[in-house]
Amino acid sequence: MKVLVPVKRVVDANVKIRVKPDNTGVDLTNVKMTVNPFCEIAIEEAVRMKEAGTATEVVAVAVGGSACKEQLRTCLALGADRAVLIETDVDIQPLGIAKALKALQEKEQADIVLFGKQSIDGDNSQTGQMFAALTGMPQGTFASEIKIENGKAIVTREVDGGLQIISTSLPVVITTDLRLNEPRYASLPNIMKAKKKQMDVYTPEELGVDVTPTLEVLSVEPPPVRAAGIKVESVEELVDKLKNEAKVIS
Amino acid sequence: MSTLVVAEHDNAELKPVTLVVIAAANAIGGDIDILVAGEGCSAVADEAAKIAGVSKVLLADNAAYAHQLAENVAPLVAELGANYTHVLAGHTTTGKNFLPRVAAVLGVAQISDIISVESPDTFKRPFYAGNAIATVKSNDAIKVVSVRGTAYDGVAAEGGSAAIEAVTSVFDTGLSSFVSEEIVKLERPELTAASIVISGGRGMQNGENFKLLEGIADKLGAAIGASRAAVDAGFVPNDMQVGQTGKIVAPDLYIAVGISGAIQHLAGMKDSKVIVAINKDEDAPIFQIADYGLVADLFQALPELEALL
């Protein structure tokens, strides 16, 4: 069984980002970039499937600029067998990514396509579901547990009210939630080995895909600043302020 | 202009987020129809028909839609949605699940998690965990939009008298099936609907200590939340998570206990009207956005607080 894991290169979660002074976007010069945390969980799950004998091959794929090779190497060091970069300098949006991945899936014919549930930069939570629609595959989104048995995927989903368990046919799209697993760290020998693993590069044109965005970002602004309030000295003072000043409790 | 709003419900009653989505549809303008897709959900359609400002309720009552499986609901919404200029749903786990599928079937982009409608084709949405707000214009013929549950005040649930029309299309793809669910029985208000929320973070040290929050929550009629750190550490389940990758809340009062204030958490609660932080680390970033900060050991402060309420 082949597992395809699309990953995204994003700003490290610990970086405090800044909006550009001209309001055209977010300033990404010289900031630390990483594999999107939910994509890392997806890679981990795929590698565990391989270790458990469920999967035979794990392929990591990224859609974006050539700098994404760095994150793909990380995925190879974490245990992916090979990587594919669909290289484009277009500021690509979820539907475009889904179309490019669909073209790759036609070549790869993966049985399980494991996405992160959202990227921590765009915060869209769209790409996996769009890919599933375009390929006509079922989807198990926001997964906290995945079981593959008898040609079916049994996916436990984190939903607003608790958990939902669904069963789907294969091939399937699964998007990972936080509690699915705790990703490992890449070991030095594996980082060295990753350098020798195969990485193919295609362009969207080679795959026959139009990735032109249809959403236009008119401006990007920092959020309104919330002024710091006051420090209270005691629980009594806090309760008094909430009752008599803020009037939010009675 | 016309908008199709996909109702969120559990086959018995309408979820409050639907009223917020309709408020966003009002801001867009034009006629508003509501789709109620489910099984045995005619009571929900009756409820939807009473909402102020709704023109028509479309009722798709079929076993295929019983559990809101995206594989079946998305083609239905796409088929109906092709007749509208806008298709809207809440940015909840249900909306997030099926709406991108709808957009892909229609061949259009989706604008996720909007916080305001600027014009019928332009919307504001936060990204980078709320550290930047983008104004986004859609050049697609149909705008597929998910609306943040705190974006608008919900419209009035009463006052309308829309006609209910049955939808006969049935999409049963057979790709997926419902097995079971564990829906948490809430003894307290739901997180996203509560007017007071008290949340615990890593400082709570373990799940057992969340009991310290329960007594206070009961006295205040509050919902209990948690930071990602607390969920990550296994103290509490994920459906309690407030933050970038959890739930977005904006209550009248938010009490953060033992939460340092990582940007990912702030993304989920910084629009609260009044924020209280209780933390023993006086340099915790949470104090930079708190209206009232108390530097104290939570294990002393919480029992004191409960006693005083």
Residue A81, min C-alpha distance to chain B (Å): 28
Query: Which pLDDT belongs to residue B215?
Result: 93
Per residue in A44-90, pLDDT tens? 999 999 999 999 999 999 999 999 999 999 999 999 999 999 999 99
Question: What interface predicted TM-score (ipTM) does this complex get?
Answer: 0.94
Distance between CA A129 and CA A117 in Å, rounded? 9
Query: Which pLDDT belongs to residue B188?
Result: 87
Mean pLDDT (chain B, rounded): 96
Show the low-confidence residues of chain A (pLDDT under 50).
Answer: none
Enumerate the residues of chain B whose CB falls inside 8 A of the CB of residue A230.
Answer: 291-293
Query: Token match 């969920």: residue?
Result: B231
Rg of chain B, C-alpha, whole Å: 21
Q: Are B257 and B200 in contact (CB under 8 A)?
A: yes
Distance between CA B152 and CA B133 in Å, rounded? 16
Query: Which pLDDT belongs to residue A228?
Result: 78
Query: Which pLDDT belongs to residue A161?
Result: 85
Query: Which pLDDT belongs to residue B184?
Result: 78
Query: Which pLDDT belongs to residue A92?
Result: 93
Query: Which pLDDT belongs to residue A235?
Result: 95
Q: Are A164 and B67 in contact (CB under 8 A)?
A: yes
Element counts in chain A: helices (H) and strands (E): 6, 13
Enumerate the residues of chain A whose CB falls inside 8 A of the CB of residue B138.
Answer: 214-216
Strands B2-6 and B86-90, how do they pair? parallel
CB-based contact, A133 to chain B, within 8 Å: yes
Per residue in B243-300, pLDDT tens? 998 999 999 999 999 999 998 999 999 999 999 999 999 999 999 999 999 999 999 9
Using a 10 angstrom Cβ sphere, with 0-12 exposed, 13-18 middle and 19 or more buried, the burial of residue A13 is middle
Query: Which pLDDT belongs to residue A73?
Result: 98
Contacts with B, A 173-232, CB within 8 Å: 177-179, 213-223, 226, 228-232
Per residue in B73-124, pLDDT tens? 999 999 999 999 999 999 999 999 999 999 999 999 999 999 999 999 999 9
SS3 B226: strand
Query: Which pLDDT belongs to residue B186?
Result: 74
Distance between CA A245 and CA A236 in Å, rounded? 13
